[in-house]
Structure 1
Amino acid sequence: MGDMIRLTAADGVTIDAYRAAPSGAPKAGVVVLQEIFGVNDHIRRVTDGFAAEGYLAIAPALFDRAQPHVELGYGPDDMKQGMEIRARTTLDGALADVAAAVKAASEAGKVGVVGYCWGGSLAFLAATRLAGVSAAVGYYGGMIASHLDEIPKAPTILHFGEKDKHISQDDVRKIQAAFPHMSVFVYPADHGFNCDARGSYDKPSADLARARTLEFLADKLA
Protein backbone atom coordinates (compact mmCIF):
# COMPACT_ATOMS: atom_id res chain seq x y z
CA MET A 1 0.00 0.00 0.00
CA GLY A 2 2.85 2.39 0.78
CA ASP A 3 6.27 3.48 -0.39
CA MET A 4 9.36 5.18 0.97
CA ILE A 5 9.77 8.94 0.64
CA ARG A 6 12.29 11.49 1.89
CA LEU A 7 11.55 14.20 4.44
CA THR A 8 13.67 17.28 5.14
CA ALA A 9 13.54 18.71 8.66
CA ALA A 10 13.79 22.40 9.48
CA ASP A 11 17.49 22.00 10.32
CA GLY A 12 18.20 20.57 6.86
CA VAL A 13 18.58 16.93 7.89
CA THR A 14 16.95 14.48 5.47
CA ILE A 15 15.43 11.18 6.59
CA ASP A 16 13.42 8.33 5.15
CA ALA A 17 9.73 7.87 5.86
CA TYR A 18 7.14 5.26 4.97
CA ARG A 19 4.05 6.81 3.36
CA ALA A 20 0.74 5.00 2.88
CA ALA A 21 -2.21 6.64 1.15
CA PRO A 22 -5.86 5.56 1.17
CA SER A 23 -7.58 4.38 -1.99
CA GLY A 24 -9.67 7.54 -2.18
CA ALA A 25 -9.22 11.12 -1.07
CA PRO A 26 -7.72 11.18 2.45
CA LYS A 27 -9.90 12.53 5.22
CA ALA A 28 -6.91 13.73 7.30
CA GLY A 29 -3.29 12.89 8.05
CA VAL A 30 -1.75 10.58 10.64
CA VAL A 31 1.91 10.46 11.64
CA VAL A 32 2.96 7.08 13.06
CA LEU A 33 5.90 7.12 15.47
CA GLN A 34 8.03 4.01 15.84
CA GLU A 35 9.17 1.97 18.79
CA ILE A 36 12.94 1.50 19.28
CA PHE A 37 12.95 -1.11 16.52
CA GLY A 38 12.84 1.27 13.56
CA VAL A 39 10.30 1.55 10.77
CA ASN A 40 10.09 -2.22 10.50
CA ASP A 41 7.45 -4.50 9.04
CA HIS A 42 5.15 -4.04 12.03
CA ILE A 43 5.25 -0.22 11.90
CA ARG A 44 4.66 -0.30 8.15
CA ARG A 45 1.61 -2.53 8.72
CA VAL A 46 0.32 -0.15 11.40
CA THR A 47 0.77 2.71 8.96
CA ASP A 48 -1.04 0.75 6.25
CA GLY A 49 -3.84 0.19 8.74
CA PHE A 50 -4.39 3.90 9.23
CA ALA A 51 -4.35 4.38 5.45
CA ALA A 52 -7.03 1.68 5.16
CA GLU A 53 -9.13 3.80 7.54
CA GLY A 54 -8.92 6.73 5.13
CA TYR A 55 -5.89 8.63 6.43
CA LEU A 56 -2.73 9.72 4.67
CA ALA A 57 -0.29 7.99 7.03
CA ILE A 58 3.44 8.71 7.33
CA ALA A 59 5.96 6.94 9.56
CA PRO A 60 9.25 8.89 9.77
CA ALA A 61 12.45 6.88 10.26
CA LEU A 62 13.42 8.52 13.53
CA PHE A 63 16.68 6.59 13.86
CA ASP A 64 18.08 7.91 10.57
CA ARG A 65 20.04 10.71 12.25
CA ALA A 66 21.93 8.13 14.30
CA GLN A 67 21.86 5.15 11.94
CA PRO A 68 19.88 4.89 8.69
CA HIS A 69 17.81 1.97 7.46
CA VAL A 70 17.19 0.40 10.87
CA GLU A 71 14.70 -2.49 10.87
CA LEU A 72 14.91 -4.69 13.94
CA GLY A 73 12.99 -7.65 15.30
CA TYR A 74 11.98 -8.15 18.92
CA GLY A 75 14.56 -10.54 20.35
CA PRO A 76 17.02 -9.69 23.15
CA ASP A 77 19.77 -8.69 20.71
CA ASP A 78 17.33 -6.49 18.78
CA MET A 79 16.24 -4.85 22.03
CA LYS A 80 19.86 -4.18 22.98
CA GLN A 81 20.65 -2.72 19.56
CA GLY A 82 17.51 -0.59 19.55
CA MET A 83 18.31 0.85 22.97
CA GLU A 84 21.87 1.63 21.86
CA ILE A 85 20.69 3.48 18.75
CA ARG A 86 18.01 5.26 20.76
CA ALA A 87 20.73 6.50 23.13
CA ARG A 88 22.45 8.16 20.16
CA THR A 89 19.37 10.16 19.21
CA THR A 90 18.42 13.55 20.62
CA LEU A 91 14.95 14.67 21.61
CA ASP A 92 15.26 17.86 19.59
CA GLY A 93 16.35 15.94 16.51
CA ALA A 94 13.54 13.40 16.83
CA LEU A 95 10.91 16.12 17.25
CA ALA A 96 12.31 18.01 14.25
CA ASP A 97 11.76 14.88 12.19
CA VAL A 98 8.26 14.44 13.62
CA ALA A 99 7.53 18.04 12.64
CA ALA A 100 8.69 17.31 9.08
CA ALA A 101 6.32 14.33 8.94
CA VAL A 102 3.45 16.45 10.31
CA LYS A 103 4.10 19.01 7.57
CA ALA A 104 4.08 16.31 4.89
CA ALA A 105 0.88 14.74 6.23
CA SER A 106 -0.84 18.12 6.38
CA GLU A 107 -1.47 17.98 2.65
CA ALA A 108 -4.44 15.82 3.71
CA GLY A 109 -5.75 18.40 6.19
CA LYS A 110 -5.60 18.12 9.97
CA VAL A 111 -2.90 15.82 11.39
CA GLY A 112 -2.93 13.40 14.30
CA VAL A 113 0.20 11.84 15.78
CA VAL A 114 0.11 8.25 17.07
CA GLY A 115 3.17 6.72 18.72
CA TYR A 116 4.21 3.48 20.37
CA CYS A 117 6.74 3.03 23.21
CA TRP A 118 9.47 5.63 22.48
CA GLY A 119 7.10 6.98 19.86
CA GLY A 120 4.34 7.18 22.47
CA SER A 121 6.43 9.61 24.47
CA LEU A 122 7.24 11.56 21.31
CA ALA A 123 3.54 11.75 20.42
CA PHE A 124 2.83 13.36 23.80
CA LEU A 125 5.73 15.81 23.34
CA ALA A 126 4.59 16.57 19.80
CA ALA A 127 1.30 17.70 21.33
CA THR A 128 3.11 19.92 23.84
CA ARG A 129 5.78 21.38 21.56
CA LEU A 130 4.92 21.19 17.86
CA ALA A 131 2.68 23.32 15.69
CA GLY A 132 0.24 21.66 13.33
CA VAL A 133 -0.73 18.76 15.61
CA SER A 134 -4.51 18.48 15.98
CA ALA A 135 -4.58 15.28 18.06
CA ALA A 136 -2.12 12.93 19.75
CA VAL A 137 -2.28 9.33 20.89
CA GLY A 138 0.47 7.79 23.00
CA TYR A 139 0.84 4.07 23.63
CA TYR A 140 2.94 3.15 26.71
CA GLY A 141 5.26 6.16 26.54
CA GLY A 142 7.85 5.82 29.29
CA MET A 143 9.05 9.44 29.18
CA ILE A 144 5.66 11.05 29.74
CA ALA A 145 5.78 10.90 33.56
CA SER A 146 9.01 12.93 33.55
CA HIS A 147 7.46 15.69 31.41
CA LEU A 148 4.33 16.46 33.40
CA ASP A 149 5.24 20.14 33.48
CA GLU A 150 4.41 20.27 29.75
CA ILE A 151 0.79 20.80 28.78
CA PRO A 152 -0.50 19.34 25.50
CA LYS A 153 -1.77 22.03 23.15
CA ALA A 154 -3.80 19.46 21.22
CA PRO A 155 -6.34 16.88 22.46
CA THR A 156 -4.43 13.82 23.68
CA ILE A 157 -5.26 10.31 24.86
CA LEU A 158 -2.87 7.74 26.33
CA HIS A 159 -2.83 3.93 26.53
CA PHE A 160 -0.92 1.92 29.17
CA GLY A 161 -0.73 -1.71 30.29
CA GLU A 162 -1.18 -2.46 33.97
CA LYS A 163 1.36 -5.33 33.73
CA ASP A 164 4.01 -3.10 32.12
CA LYS A 165 7.40 -3.81 33.71
CA HIS A 166 8.89 -0.64 32.21
CA ILE A 167 6.25 1.89 33.29
CA SER A 168 5.01 1.70 36.87
CA GLN A 169 1.39 2.17 37.81
CA ASP A 170 2.61 4.93 40.13
CA ASP A 171 3.76 6.82 37.03
CA VAL A 172 0.43 6.19 35.32
CA ARG A 173 -1.40 7.55 38.36
CA LYS A 174 0.85 10.64 38.33
CA ILE A 175 -0.11 11.23 34.71
CA GLN A 176 -3.80 10.81 35.51
CA ALA A 177 -3.50 13.23 38.43
CA ALA A 178 -1.64 15.79 36.34
CA PHE A 179 -4.21 15.66 33.53
CA PRO A 180 -7.56 14.81 35.14
CA HIS A 181 -9.52 15.68 32.01
CA MET A 182 -7.37 13.54 29.69
CA SER A 183 -8.44 10.02 28.81
CA VAL A 184 -5.67 7.77 30.18
CA PHE A 185 -6.68 4.18 29.50
CA VAL A 186 -5.17 1.20 31.34
CA TYR A 187 -5.44 -2.34 29.98
CA PRO A 188 -4.81 -5.77 31.54
CA ALA A 189 -1.69 -6.14 29.41
CA ASP A 190 2.10 -5.77 29.32
CA HIS A 191 4.36 -3.28 27.55
CA GLY A 192 4.08 -3.50 23.77
CA PHE A 193 0.60 -5.02 23.88
CA ASN A 194 -0.33 -3.47 20.53
CA CYS A 195 2.44 -5.22 18.58
CA ASP A 196 1.36 -8.56 17.13
CA ALA A 197 5.00 -9.47 16.48
CA ARG A 198 5.88 -9.43 20.18
CA GLY A 199 5.28 -12.00 22.88
CA SER A 200 3.52 -9.31 24.93
CA TYR A 201 0.83 -8.84 22.27
CA ASP A 202 -2.65 -8.80 23.80
CA LYS A 203 -5.29 -8.84 21.09
CA PRO A 204 -8.33 -7.80 23.18
CA SER A 205 -6.41 -4.84 24.61
CA ALA A 206 -4.95 -3.93 21.22
CA ASP A 207 -8.34 -4.08 19.55
CA LEU A 208 -9.98 -1.93 22.22
CA ALA A 209 -7.16 0.62 22.17
CA ARG A 210 -7.33 0.79 18.37
CA ALA A 211 -11.10 1.31 18.44
CA ARG A 212 -10.70 4.12 20.96
CA THR A 213 -7.86 5.63 18.93
CA LEU A 214 -9.86 5.58 15.69
CA GLU A 215 -12.91 7.09 17.39
CA PHE A 216 -10.75 9.82 18.89
CA LEU A 217 -9.04 10.63 15.59
CA ALA A 218 -12.32 10.65 13.68
CA ASP A 219 -13.66 13.23 16.16
CA LYS A 220 -10.60 15.46 16.44
CA LEU A 221 -9.48 15.39 12.80
CA ALA A 222 -12.90 15.93 11.25
Structure 2
Amino acid sequence: MTGETITLQASDGQELSAYWVRPETPTHGGVVVIQEIFGVNDHIRSVCDKLADAGYYAVAPALFDRAEPGVELDYDAEGVARGKALKDSLDWDSALLDIDAGAQFLKHEGVRKAAVVGFCWGGTLTWLSACRLAAVDCAVAYYGAQIPSYLDETPRCPIMLHFGEKDASIPAESVARIQAAHPEIPILSYPAGHGFNCDRRADFDKGSAELAWHRTIGLLQQTVG
Protein backbone atom coordinates (compact mmCIF):
# COMPACT_ATOMS: atom_id res chain seq x y z
CA MET A 1 0.00 0.00 0.00
CA THR A 2 1.59 3.24 -1.19
CA GLY A 3 -0.11 6.61 -1.33
CA GLU A 4 0.32 8.97 -4.25
CA THR A 5 -0.44 12.54 -5.21
CA ILE A 6 -3.14 12.93 -7.84
CA THR A 7 -5.02 15.83 -9.42
CA LEU A 8 -8.74 16.33 -8.93
CA GLN A 9 -11.01 18.68 -10.84
CA ALA A 10 -13.92 20.36 -9.09
CA SER A 11 -17.19 21.03 -10.87
CA ASP A 12 -16.25 24.69 -11.41
CA GLY A 13 -13.10 23.65 -13.28
CA GLN A 14 -10.67 24.23 -10.40
CA GLU A 15 -7.83 21.72 -10.31
CA LEU A 16 -6.32 20.69 -6.99
CA SER A 17 -3.93 18.07 -5.73
CA ALA A 18 -4.95 15.27 -3.38
CA TYR A 19 -3.34 12.44 -1.47
CA TRP A 20 -4.80 9.13 -2.62
CA VAL A 21 -4.27 5.65 -1.24
CA ARG A 22 -5.80 2.30 -2.19
CA PRO A 23 -6.12 -0.48 0.38
CA GLU A 24 -4.23 -3.70 -0.28
CA THR A 25 -7.41 -5.61 0.46
CA PRO A 26 -10.30 -3.36 -0.61
CA THR A 27 -13.20 -4.66 1.39
CA HIS A 28 -14.98 -1.40 2.22
CA GLY A 29 -16.13 1.89 0.79
CA GLY A 30 -14.19 5.13 0.44
CA VAL A 31 -13.46 8.12 2.65
CA VAL A 32 -12.70 11.74 1.85
CA VAL A 33 -10.39 13.01 4.59
CA ILE A 34 -10.82 16.73 5.24
CA GLN A 35 -7.78 18.63 6.46
CA GLU A 36 -7.21 20.93 9.40
CA ILE A 37 -5.86 24.45 8.79
CA PHE A 38 -2.39 22.93 8.41
CA GLY A 39 -2.91 21.53 4.92
CA VAL A 40 -2.60 17.97 3.66
CA ASN A 41 0.41 17.25 5.87
CA ASP A 42 1.93 14.15 7.45
CA HIS A 43 -0.95 13.83 9.90
CA ILE A 44 -3.65 13.93 7.24
CA ARG A 45 -1.72 11.49 5.05
CA SER A 46 -1.35 9.17 8.05
CA VAL A 47 -5.14 9.25 8.57
CA CYS A 48 -5.58 8.20 4.94
CA ASP A 49 -3.03 5.42 5.37
CA LYS A 50 -4.76 4.22 8.53
CA LEU A 51 -8.09 4.09 6.73
CA ALA A 52 -6.50 2.10 3.91
CA ASP A 53 -5.11 -0.31 6.50
CA ALA A 54 -8.72 -0.80 7.62
CA GLY A 55 -9.78 -1.57 4.04
CA TYR A 56 -11.03 1.83 2.85
CA TYR A 57 -10.05 3.81 -0.20
CA ALA A 58 -9.02 7.27 1.04
CA VAL A 59 -8.43 10.62 -0.62
CA ALA A 60 -7.51 13.95 0.97
CA PRO A 61 -8.12 16.98 -1.29
CA ALA A 62 -5.70 19.88 -0.78
CA LEU A 63 -8.28 22.55 -0.03
CA PHE A 64 -5.71 25.33 0.21
CA ASP A 65 -4.74 24.85 -3.44
CA ARG A 66 -7.30 27.46 -4.44
CA ALA A 67 -5.27 30.03 -2.48
CA GLU A 68 -1.76 28.56 -2.55
CA PRO A 69 -0.68 25.13 -3.82
CA GLY A 70 1.44 22.75 -1.81
CA VAL A 71 0.80 24.13 1.67
CA GLU A 72 1.93 22.01 4.63
CA LEU A 73 2.21 23.80 7.96
CA ASP A 74 3.70 22.99 11.34
CA TYR A 75 1.69 22.90 14.56
CA ASP A 76 3.22 26.08 15.97
CA ALA A 77 2.16 29.71 16.31
CA GLU A 78 3.41 30.59 12.84
CA GLY A 79 1.58 27.62 11.31
CA VAL A 80 -1.64 28.50 13.12
CA ALA A 81 -1.50 32.12 11.97
CA ARG A 82 -0.78 31.23 8.36
CA GLY A 83 -3.37 28.46 8.33
CA LYS A 84 -6.07 30.75 9.67
CA ALA A 85 -5.22 33.37 7.05
CA LEU A 86 -5.44 30.81 4.25
CA LYS A 87 -8.71 29.43 5.62
CA ASP A 88 -10.18 32.93 5.83
CA SER A 89 -9.20 33.61 2.22
CA LEU A 90 -11.48 30.79 1.07
CA ASP A 91 -15.24 30.39 1.23
CA TRP A 92 -17.24 27.39 2.38
CA ASP A 93 -18.84 26.78 -1.01
CA SER A 94 -15.51 26.50 -2.82
CA ALA A 95 -14.16 24.10 -0.21
CA LEU A 96 -17.29 21.99 -0.57
CA LEU A 97 -16.77 21.82 -4.34
CA ASP A 98 -13.31 20.39 -3.70
CA ILE A 99 -14.61 17.89 -1.14
CA ASP A 100 -17.31 16.83 -3.59
CA ALA A 101 -14.57 16.36 -6.21
CA GLY A 102 -12.95 13.88 -3.82
CA ALA A 103 -16.22 12.01 -3.31
CA GLN A 104 -16.92 11.93 -7.04
CA PHE A 105 -13.39 10.64 -7.67
CA LEU A 106 -13.95 7.78 -5.24
CA LYS A 107 -17.18 6.80 -6.94
CA HIS A 108 -15.52 7.04 -10.36
CA GLU A 109 -12.96 4.56 -9.03
CA GLY A 110 -15.80 2.13 -8.31
CA VAL A 111 -16.43 2.88 -4.66
CA ARG A 112 -20.12 2.38 -4.02
CA LYS A 113 -20.44 4.66 -0.99
CA ALA A 114 -18.30 7.52 0.26
CA ALA A 115 -17.88 9.00 3.72
CA VAL A 116 -16.19 12.17 4.90
CA VAL A 117 -14.00 12.39 7.99
CA GLY A 118 -12.68 15.82 8.96
CA PHE A 119 -10.72 17.55 11.69
CA CYS A 120 -10.93 21.08 13.13
CA TRP A 121 -11.75 23.34 10.12
CA GLY A 122 -12.40 20.06 8.35
CA GLY A 123 -14.80 19.11 11.14
CA THR A 124 -17.06 22.02 10.29
CA LEU A 125 -16.68 21.23 6.59
CA THR A 126 -17.69 17.66 7.40
CA TRP A 127 -20.94 18.95 8.90
CA LEU A 128 -21.63 21.09 5.84
CA SER A 129 -20.73 18.20 3.53
CA ALA A 130 -23.23 15.97 5.32
CA CYS A 131 -25.89 18.65 4.95
CA ARG A 132 -25.25 19.75 1.38
CA LEU A 133 -23.46 17.09 -0.67
CA ALA A 134 -25.55 14.31 -2.19
CA ALA A 135 -22.46 12.16 -2.83
CA VAL A 136 -21.72 11.87 0.91
CA ASP A 137 -23.18 8.77 2.58
CA CYS A 138 -21.69 9.13 6.07
CA ALA A 139 -19.78 11.77 8.04
CA VAL A 140 -17.55 11.90 11.11
CA ALA A 141 -16.49 15.31 12.42
CA TYR A 142 -13.71 15.85 14.94
CA TYR A 143 -13.83 19.10 16.96
CA GLY A 144 -15.59 21.27 14.39
CA ALA A 145 -15.67 24.65 16.12
CA GLN A 146 -18.03 26.43 13.71
CA ILE A 147 -20.74 23.77 13.56
CA PRO A 148 -22.97 25.84 15.91
CA SER A 149 -23.18 28.50 13.19
CA TYR A 150 -24.99 26.02 10.92
CA LEU A 151 -27.50 24.37 13.22
CA ASP A 152 -30.36 25.40 10.95
CA GLU A 153 -29.08 22.79 8.50
CA THR A 154 -29.74 19.07 8.93
CA PRO A 155 -27.38 16.29 7.81
CA ARG A 156 -28.70 14.16 4.96
CA CYS A 157 -26.75 11.11 6.11
CA PRO A 158 -25.59 9.42 9.33
CA ILE A 159 -23.11 11.60 11.21
CA MET A 160 -21.04 11.35 14.40
CA LEU A 161 -19.36 14.25 16.23
CA HIS A 162 -16.28 14.03 18.47
CA PHE A 163 -15.33 16.79 20.96
CA GLY A 164 -12.73 17.21 23.68
CA GLU A 165 -14.04 18.24 27.08
CA LYS A 166 -10.91 20.35 27.67
CA ASP A 167 -11.05 22.08 24.29
CA ALA A 168 -10.44 25.78 24.99
CA SER A 169 -11.66 26.76 21.52
CA ILE A 170 -15.01 24.93 21.71
CA PRO A 171 -16.91 25.70 24.94
CA ALA A 172 -19.18 23.08 26.46
CA GLU A 173 -22.07 25.46 25.79
CA SER A 174 -21.42 25.20 22.05
CA VAL A 175 -21.55 21.41 22.16
CA ALA A 176 -24.76 21.61 24.20
CA ARG A 177 -26.30 23.87 21.55
CA ILE A 178 -25.57 21.28 18.87
CA GLN A 179 -27.12 18.52 20.97
CA ALA A 180 -30.21 20.59 21.73
CA ALA A 181 -30.75 21.45 18.07
CA HIS A 182 -30.09 17.89 16.86
CA PRO A 183 -30.78 15.41 19.68
CA GLU A 184 -30.78 12.54 17.18
CA ILE A 185 -27.06 12.95 16.43
CA PRO A 186 -24.46 11.06 18.51
CA ILE A 187 -22.14 13.61 20.11
CA LEU A 188 -19.22 11.94 21.86
CA SER A 189 -16.91 13.68 24.33
CA TYR A 190 -13.46 12.81 25.60
CA PRO A 191 -11.25 13.99 28.50
CA ALA A 192 -8.95 15.81 26.10
CA GLY A 193 -8.23 19.13 24.41
CA HIS A 194 -8.46 20.39 20.85
CA GLY A 195 -6.70 18.27 18.26
CA PHE A 196 -6.59 15.21 20.54
CA ASN A 197 -6.52 12.84 17.56
CA CYS A 198 -3.25 14.21 16.17
CA ASP A 199 -0.06 12.72 17.58
CA ARG A 200 1.89 15.72 16.23
CA ARG A 201 0.06 18.11 18.56
CA ALA A 202 0.55 18.93 22.23
CA ASP A 203 -3.08 18.03 22.95
CA PHE A 204 -2.74 14.51 21.57
CA ASP A 205 -4.47 12.05 23.87
CA LYS A 206 -3.78 8.44 22.95
CA GLY A 207 -6.69 6.89 24.82
CA SER A 208 -9.22 9.38 23.50
CA ALA A 209 -7.85 9.10 19.96
CA GLU A 210 -8.06 5.31 19.99
CA LEU A 211 -11.62 5.29 21.35
CA ALA A 212 -12.78 7.92 18.86
CA TRP A 213 -11.15 6.00 16.02
CA HIS A 214 -12.83 2.76 17.12
CA ARG A 215 -16.19 4.52 17.08
CA THR A 216 -15.44 6.16 13.73
CA ILE A 217 -14.60 2.85 12.09
CA GLY A 218 -17.74 1.35 13.63
CA LEU A 219 -19.95 3.97 11.95
CA LEU A 220 -18.10 3.59 8.65
CA GLN A 221 -18.65 -0.18 8.74
CA GLN A 222 -22.36 0.34 9.35
CA THR A 223 -22.84 2.89 6.59
CA VAL A 224 -20.32 2.56 3.76
CA GLY A 225 -19.21 -1.03 4.22
Pairwise TM-score range, normalised by the shorter structure: over 0.9
Alignment of 1:111-122 (within 5 A): 111-122=114-125
Shift of 1:98: 0.3
Q: Distance in 2 between matches of 1:182 and 1:98?
A: 22
- What's the CA shift string for 1:111-151, capped at 9, x where partnerless? 01000000010011000000111100000001101100000
Q: Gapped runs of 5+ residues in structure 1?
A: none
Alignment of 1:1-222 (within 5 A): 1-106=2-107, 107-222=110-225
SS at match of 2:86: helix
Shift of 1:26: 4.5
Question: How many residues in Structure 1 have an aligned counterpart in Structure 2?
Answer: 222
Specify the code of the residue in structure 2 equivalent to 1:206. A
Q: Distance in 1 between matches of 2:26 and 2:205?
A: 33
Deviation >3 Å, runs of 4+: none
Shift of 1:24: 2.3
Shift of 1:25: 2.9
Shift of 1:213: 0.1
SS at match of 1:19: strand
Q: RMSD across aligned C-alpha pairs, in angstroms? A: 0.7
Q: Gapped runs of 5+ residues in structure 2?
A: none
Specify the code of the residue in structure 1 equivalent to 2:41. N
Q: Distance in 1 between matches of 2:26 and 2:174?
A: 40
**TM-score of the pair, normalised by structure 2:** 0.97
SS at match of 1:108: coil
State whether residues 34 and 119 of structure 1, in contact with CA within 8 Å, keep that contact through their aligned partners in structure 2.
yes
Q: Distance in 1 between matches of 2:66 and 2:185?
A: 33
Indicate the percent of aligned positions where both proteins have the same amino acid: 49
Specify the code of the residue in structure 2 equivalent to 1:150. E
**TM-score of the pair, normalised by structure 1:** 0.98
Q: Distance in 2 between matches of 1:155 and 1:121?
A: 15
